[in-house]
Amino acid sequence: MCGIVAYIGKKEAYPILIKGLQRLEYRGYDSAGVALIHNQELNLFKKQGKVSELISFASDKDTSGTIGIGHTRWATHGAPSDRNAHPHFSGNSDLAIIHNGIIENYASLKAELSQRGHQFSSDTDTEVLIHLIEDIRIKAGVDLEEAVRIALNEVVGAYAIVVLSKKNPDMLIAAKKSSPLVIGIGETDEYYIASDATPIIEYTKNVLYLNDEEIAILKKGEELRLINIKNQPKVPYIQELEMQLEAIEKGGFDHFMIKEIFEQPTSIKNSMRGRIDLNKGIVSLGGIREYKQKIINAERIIIVACGTSWHAGLVGEYLIEDFARIPVEVEYASEFRYRNPIITESDVVIAISQSGETADTLAAIKLAKEKGATIIGICNVVGSSISRATDAGSYTHAGPEIGVASTKAFTAQVTVLSLMALSLAQAKGSLSDSKLRQLMVELSTIPEKVEKLLNTDNQIKAIAEKFKNARNFLYLGRGYNFPVALEGALKLKEISYIHAEGYPAAEMKHGPIALIDEEMPVVVIATKHGNYEKVVSNIEEVKARNGKIIAIVTEGDTEVKAIADYTIEVPETDEALSPLLTTIPLQLLSYYIAIMRGCNVDQPRNLAKSVTVE
């Protein structure tokens, strides 16, 4: 959370920073700000609210300068306000900083600095860090680079920072620990810095991902220099970005979310590309090939993830246990890491994360690694912190996901988990050849079925119109579609702010049934092969209490159609693969309801896409 961007070079920095902040706005949008050096002056513009507020605020001001830093904030310490917006200045206003992360020992550092006469003008942990750097620079009489290095040895927590100094108008210093930071190497003397590669991609494809505790010194007229916080020189590893600019633009759609929903036939296909060979009858995930035996022999698999990725993990549990007969547990990364879990060397941990930056998932990986487990990653963002922290893994290849509510990343994760389960089953011999083949063929046809399903768009819009003013929603599913019910409810909450709960259909009678009346829409996933008769009984129970049923059924269904108020048909497939289809109408339903309620679907309130704080 929080997006940071910086530029040093020959071009005007402000337009680059603003465009970069707009690309990073998914990381937080409580306030935005930039600091620029021009004519020996350090100019600061910052405003509560979105980047658009900052643009109007700065529209009549002089934003010249060829060096600058910018920030879009997701508030942690200190409420969203102009004064808590980044960049923050040092006491003497010589230094400015942008920061993503949390300085955990900021309170004790602040107390010490206050005793030494420092006065603070915000409630943030970040301002403490820039005061500390200033304090060290003056007290120890060292240069800025050394002051930053010493300060970073004193802080506990997570940071991606960029520091700008009026006294050093040709230099930026960037450093990171636990929060991500990428440096784009432009033309001679030109550098772009950002939380991810999206602000950089249109200028250069040559990037350097900073590792934890590395500090980069970027000076006009000099090559980039890299050290770590122990002052050891490091060799920069410059790599080429594979991302395309079109992938991060709306391409004619009104919102990123709907663009990403409609991209799913392609993103699912991309997740499968080269991984299923129907001629040879082989499923293979190159990234985990060397670890396949280890996984098959694992005592158990523990899947760790957060949010939507956790829901994909639940589908993964069903798939791996069903196909490969290996015990699986699914854990919220945030719970796992703090509950003293029993982990042994024979365990395999699968970490699932779209961004590859989620702080809790990263911490869960570190813990499991310390205890000797093998760590496999399923990430979307190439080169992300999680993908680098794992022993091996498979990328989802969904392409950049910008909408805060995850859609195509979820189906891509489920696709990769399906492939993983099939490939483990194949190696282990736990499924017959004919069943394996049937599943492989089924999986390969999913993209065209998703394509077909997306044509039900208008029908879903009409249902959304009926229920847009509902105050609560219940989502029910069984087996493979229980996680889909959870995901459907999460999607609705996230973007429309309607309270929604997902439940295993049979559990409804142990509580949620008390909520059902004529006001309560109940979305039930009732596919043909998934405990169908039992789900039909659950639907009857809702109907008997006047609840309104929106049912997701298999094409050609007649039984549920006769009792539900509304039905949405999905093409027939194997039940194990049905989440890849049943999820789609639920995404669309949430999207249209949110739009009809006037909500900002791409940037829902209080949320951020990449949660780099615990």
Q: Residues in the site for ligand G6P, rule: CB under 6 A?
A: 306-309, 353-355, 358, 361, 404, 406, 607, 609-611
Is 219 labeled as catalytic in the residue annotation?
Answer: no
Is 2 labeled as catalytic in the residue annotation?
Answer: yes
Residue 112, CB-side half-sphere exposure with 13 Å CA sphere: 12
For residue 529 the two structure tokens come to 């092969």
3-state SS string for 556-580? CCCHHHHHCCEEEEECCCCHHHCHH
Q: Which are the contacts of 158, defined by CB distance < 8 A and separation ≥ 6?
A: 101, 102, 177, 178, 179, 359, 612, 613
**Distance between CA 356 and CA 390 in Å, rounded?**
10
Which residue lies nearer to ligand G6P by CB, 333 or 454?
333
Which residue lies nearer to ligand G6P by CB, 43 or 178?
178
Q: Which are the contacts of 244, defined by CB distance < 8 A and separation ≥ 6?
A: 201
Q: Which are the contacts of 77, defined by CB distance < 8 A and separation ≥ 6?
A: 84, 102, 106, 123, 124, 125, 126
Which residue lies nearer to ligand G6P by CB, 16 or 182?
182
Which residue lies nearer to ligand G6P by CB, 307 or 530?
307
Catalytic residue among 408, 449, 493, 609: 609
In the complex, the smallest distance separating the C-beta of residue 497 from ligand G6P, rounded to whole angstroms, is 14
In the complex, the smallest distance separating the C-beta of residue 414 from ligand G6P, rounded to whole angstroms, is 13
Catalytic residue among 2, 306, 379, 599: 2
Q: Which of 484, 418, 483, 477 is nearest to 446 (CA)?
A: 418
In the complex, the smallest distance separating the C-beta of residue 493 from ligand G6P, rounded to whole angstroms, is 11
Which residue lies nearer to ligand G6P by CB, 90 or 418?
418
For residue 112 the two structure tokens come to 């010490």
In the complex, the smallest distance separating the C-beta of residue 26 from ligand G6P, rounded to whole angstroms, is 9
Which residue lies nearer to ligand G6P by CB, 234 or 369?
369
**Distance between CA 494 and CA 486 in Å, rounded?**
12
**Distance between CA 173 and CA 160 in Å, rounded?**
11
Q: Which are the contacts of 582, defined by CB distance < 8 A and separation ≥ 6?
A: 477, 481, 484, 525, 527, 552, 570
Task: List 277's β-bridge partners, or say none.
Answer: 282
In the complex, the smallest distance separating the C-beta of residue 304 from ligand G6P, rounded to whole angstroms, is 10
Residue 37, CB-side half-sphere exposure with 13 Å CA sphere: 23
In the complex, the smallest distance separating the C-beta of residue 303 from ligand G6P, rounded to whole angstroms, is 12
DSSP state of 545: T
Which residue lies nearer to ligand G6P by CB, 406 or 590?
406
In the complex, the smallest distance separating the C-beta of residue 123 from ligand G6P, rounded to whole angstroms, is 24
Residue whose C-beta lies closest to ligand G6P: 307
In the complex, the smallest distance separating the C-beta of residue 211 from ligand G6P, rounded to whole angstroms, is 20
Cβ neighbourhood burial of 78 (10 Å; 0-12, 13-18, 19+): middle
Q: Which are the contacts of 254, defined by CB distance < 8 A and separation ≥ 6?
A: 595
Which residue lies nearer to ligand G6P by CB, 569 or 614?
614
Q: Starting from the edge strand earliest in sequence, which strands make up the sheet with 566-570, in order?
A: 499-504, 472-477, 521-526, 548-554, 566-570
Q: Starting from the edge strand earliest in sequence, which strands make up the sheet with 347-353, in order?
A: 328-332, 300-305, 347-353, 374-379, 392-395
**Distance between CA 286 and CA 267 in Å, rounded?**
18
Question: Catalytic residue numbers?
Answer: 2, 609
